[in-house]
Amino acid sequence: MKPICIIPARGGSKGVPKKNIRKIDGKPLIAYTIKSALKSKIFSYVFVCTEDSDIARISKNFGAEVPFLRPKKLAGGSVPMDAVLVDFISKIISLGYKFDTFVWRDCTVPFIRNKDILGSIKLLKKKKANLVIGVYKQHLNPYYNVVEKNSSGFLQLVKKNERPTSRQQAPVVYQMNGLHTYDLKKFLFPTRKIRTELHKALPFEIPIESGLMIDTEFEFQTVKLIIENNLWKF
């Protein structure tokens, strides 16, 4: 049984308004993820989960399934991913879609490679894991050079143990990106209240360039520059 792909796409992005459908080289951003997922032949269905009618229409035009709109109450920036997933998964199951694995694939991380998706699915099944999350090694390190303000207003390391003498000596830390691969049965297990527990998730390491995420206008323009100058092959 083939997995399915779910692409989340809110219409209410604050950092980069309407970023999911802003055009890059003549196509909306979300189109690159939809086309890549369809072309891969990995998935039986490629869904877009959105509350926005414009995103829904554009996604359908590029071949994605949008069987319903996300409820407005689940469209806010502070809504937990678990709540959105439970609602979406429950509804598509009730509509008769069959699958045992699903991939939550963020369109604001457009350079994730299909071989990384396949690798995460393979790891999920081999280790019989609940969840596999795509990650890359992060040079900003809470043991060495990531700080916060303490109650007195002074800086302190996020990890407050003894500071290593160099970044290379600090424990390796990872940045999560927009690739989450789930086992359906374990996700729906009735006693699980939090379904994306990190302590039950395995990492799948991808190259740092594949994990470039668009959260700011600068990052959007960076992705635009890369795509329009053919510096990345999908």
Residues 4-135+176-228, CATH architecture: Alpha-Beta Complex (3.90)
- pLDDT confidence of residue 191: 59
pLDDT value for 188: 82
pLDDT digits (tens, 9 = 90+) for 113-135: 999 999 999 999 999 999 999 99
Work out the angle between the directed axes of helices 29-40 and 114-127 (0-180°, nearest 10). Answer: 60
For the residues 146-150, what does the mean pLDDT come to? 95
Residue 182 clears pLDDT 60, i.e. is over it: yes
CB-based contacts of 203, cutoff 8 Å, min separation 6: 132, 133, 134, 135, 174
Mean pLDDT of 86-91: 95
Tell me: pLDDT of 194 over 60: no
Q: Residue 21 has what pLDDT? A: 97
What pLDDT does 165 receive?
84
Q: Per-residue pLDDT tens for 196-234?
A: 677 789 999 999 999 999 999 999 999 999 999 999 987
CATH 3.90.550.10 in the chain is located at: 4-135+176-228
Query: In terms of pLDDT, which residue wins out, 93 or 196?
Result: 93
**Mean per-residue pLDDT, 19-24:** 97
DSSP 17-63: TTGGG-EETTEEHHHHHHHHHHHHT--SEEEEE-S-HHHHHHHHHTT
Written as one string, the DSSP assignment of 143-200 is TTT-EEE-TTS-EEESS-SPPPSSGGGSPP-EEEEEEEEEEHHHHS-TT-SSTT-GGG
Convert the pLDDT of each residue in 98-109 to its tens digit: 999 999 999 999
Average confidence score pLDDT of the chain:
93
